[in-house]
Amino acid sequence: MTDALIDEPAQRGDAALQAPQAYLLHLADNALVLGQRNAQWCGHAPILEEELAQANISLDLIGQARLLYDLVAQRAADGSTEDSYAYWRDAPQFRNYTLLELPHRAPLVGYAQGDLDYAITITRNFFYSALMAPLWQLLSRCPDADLAAIAAKSFKEATYHLRHSRDWLIKLGDGTDVSHARMQAALEHLWPYTREFWSLTDLEQQAGALGVDGQALQQDWQALLDEALAEATLQCPPPAAGHITQGKQGVHSEHLSYLLAELQSLARAHPGAQW
């Protein structure tokens, strides 16, 4: 399943339809927030190779966000730029999944300090890249030619992110007793947040108009997940019940405001500055 997904070439659509701004911002916010979160490993990764890998993944994600924000700004034609969307919106205006804003550690209040947990990072990156690789592939054929071009580029990056996170998921899950236990704990901690991927909102309707079949996408995601977890000797948690997070609707955890404070502080301290 994974090889077929990665090796199948992407194709572009025509320009018959433009993606709604809200959906473009959702895709961009996802990439920016996870890129910023993963960048926190710079100088703290467990080994040098992962120092470089997480930096490159972050750069890929922030590059995707820039392309999408720039497309939104061009179409808005109101003088906005990519920086307007990254630096000058507050947390309730962001439309990223709640999963992506969570810290790299067990549940703590936003300002608390704790040890970074690489198991959480790898598990989250796997959940997200297993979603985005097939989604970017679908969007590379969408009728919005500009989005299709961004998706074709992003698909190649997402397949690398998927390989990287999947490899580490298996190495750690099928490693020592300690690494296995930490991966299982990370899986169970993050699992409920993935329900937001499949909750139905206006964004899913907008994606459907672009040719995205949410049910088929969920089946592909689950197949990628089941295959990797079996190889990693990890147990998939049972279906979660109760509250479904609503980050993509602007209702976030407290962690996003702290993350945005780090991201936006320089731009807001020196508005209009040029470098």
Sequence spans of domains, the chain: 2-8+19-269
Architecture of domain 2-8+19-269: Up-down Bundle (1.20)
User: Do the Cβ atoms of 55 and 42 come closer than 8 Å?
Assistant: yes
Radius of gyration over every alpha carbon of the chain, rounded to an integer in angstroms: 18
pLDDT digits (tens, 9 = 90+) for 5-21: 434 433 433 445 899 99
Phi, psi of 246 (to 5 degrees): -130, 35
**Helices and strands, counts by H and E, the chain:** 10, 0
Per-residue pLDDT of the chain (275 residues; tens, 9 = 90+): 444 443 443 343 344 589 999 999 999 999 999 999 999 877 876 777 888 888 899 999 999 999 999 999 999 999 999 999 999 999 999 999 999 999 987 655 555 556 789 999 999 999 999 999 999 999 999 999 999 999 999 999 999 999 999 999 999 999 999 999 999 999 999 999 999 999 999 999 999 999 999 999 999 999 999 999 999 999 999 988 889 999 999 999 999 999 999 999 998 999 888 77
The answer for residues whose C-beta is within 8 angstroms of residue 2's C-beta and 6 or more apart is 162, 166, 224, 227, 228
User: Do the Cβ atoms of 223 and 149 come closer than 8 Å?
Assistant: no
- Which ranges constitute the DSSP H helices of 8-144? 21-38, 48-76, 82-87, 118-139
**Which helix or strand (DSSP H or E) is residue 257 part of?**
helix 255-269
The answer for residues whose C-beta is within 8 angstroms of residue 61's C-beta and 6 or more apart is 31, 32, 34, 35, 38, 157
**Which helix or strand (DSSP H or E) is residue 208 part of?**
helix 202-209
Alpha-carbon gap, residue 51 to 116, rounded angstroms: 14
User: Do the Cβ atoms of 222 and 127 come closer than 8 Å?
Assistant: no
Residue type, position 175, single letter: G
Whether the predicted model's global pTM rises above the 0.75 cut = yes
Cβ burial 44-54 (10 Å sphere, 16+ → b, else e): ebeeeebeebb
The answer for residues whose C-beta is within 8 angstroms of residue 8's C-beta and 6 or more apart is 137
User: Given the structure tokens 């034609």, which residue do they identify?
Assistant: 77
- Other beta carbons less than 10 A from residue 37's beta carbon: 25
Alpha-carbon gap, residue 252 to 209, rounded angstroms: 26
pLDDT digits (tens, 9 = 90+) for 186-219: 999 999 999 999 999 999 999 999 999 999 999 9
Alpha-carbon gap, residue 149 to 161, rounded angstroms: 19
Three-state DSSP state, 246: strand
Pick from 128, 102, 100, 139: nearest CA to 224: 128
